[in-house]
A and B are shown apart, each in its own frame.
Chain A
Amino acid sequence: QVQLVQSGAEVKKPGASLKLSCKASGYTFTNYYMHWVRQAPGQGVEWMGIINPSGGATNYAQKFRGRVTVTRDTSTSTVYMEVSSLRSEDTAAYYCAGDMLTGDDAFDTWGQGTMVTVSS
């Protein structure tokens, strides 16, 4: 079955960098775009960026450009997201997600989430 498995929880200090992973299985990895979404505690859901696993093209929400980089490794069917210059406001649950089933670009498949805590 289609599955997205994310890396484990992280605790980072302000100013550090972070690299999260999302391993896909159960479908052809290069056929479906992958997104990253985050949710700060008690807050709403925020779209961060997208990658085309086939060619590696990306796009990011304006507020994350220059600080977030999404990459992929087709040999392991894994997507990565690196966030630099972490600050306390980056404390959140981070999810990878995509349209692997519906064919309409809505997010029908989600990872289990990775909790990131940024604290001195």
Chain B
Amino acid sequence: EIVLTQSPGTLSLAPGERATLSCRASQSVSSNYLAWYQQKPGQAPRLLIYGASSRATGIPDRFSGSGSGTDFTLTISRLEPEDFAVYYCQQYGTSPLAEYTFGQGTKLEIK
């Protein structure tokens, strides 16, 4: 099982600032099958980034993903008030019936 470790646990920033969230895998993530999700209170997670760097439909271009192998990053170039939420990374397996795992999350809060 691949373990994903996200850092920091909490990130305090102001609107307009740049956010950089990290996700480190315990072993290499095959074919960069790494996704990022945003979750707001009382809602299901929403897919932001898949394949490490591809934005999902409707996601603003201030969100970008990068990385490969074991180190991945989600960057929000200029924070909007609606971006303050919890963010999770997820790895998905080489075959559809493989195990999937999520990181423990990073809470992005208003400073």
Contact = CB atoms under 8 A, between A and B. Distances in A.
B102 A57 contact: no
B58 to A, nearest CB: 10
Interface residues of B, number: 28
B44 A97 contact: yes
A37 B44 CA distance: 10
A47 B99 contact: yes
Main SS at interface, chain A:
loop
A105 to B, nearest CB: 5
Which interface residue of B44, B54, B105 has the most chain A CB atoms within 10 A? B44
Contact of B45 (A52, A58, A104, A110): A110
Contacts of A112: 44
Nearest to A110: B44
A95 B44 contact: yes
Interface of B: 1, 33, 35, 37, 39, 44-47, 50-51, 54, 56-57, 88, 90, 92-93, 96-105
24 contacts: A33-B97, A35-B100, A44-B102, A44-B104, A44-B105, A45-B39, A45-B90, A45-B102, A45-B105, A47-B99, A47-B102, A50-B97, A52-B96, A52-B97, A59-B97, A59-B98, A62-B99, A97-B44, A102-B57, A104-B33, A104-B54, A105-B92, A106-B35, A107-B47
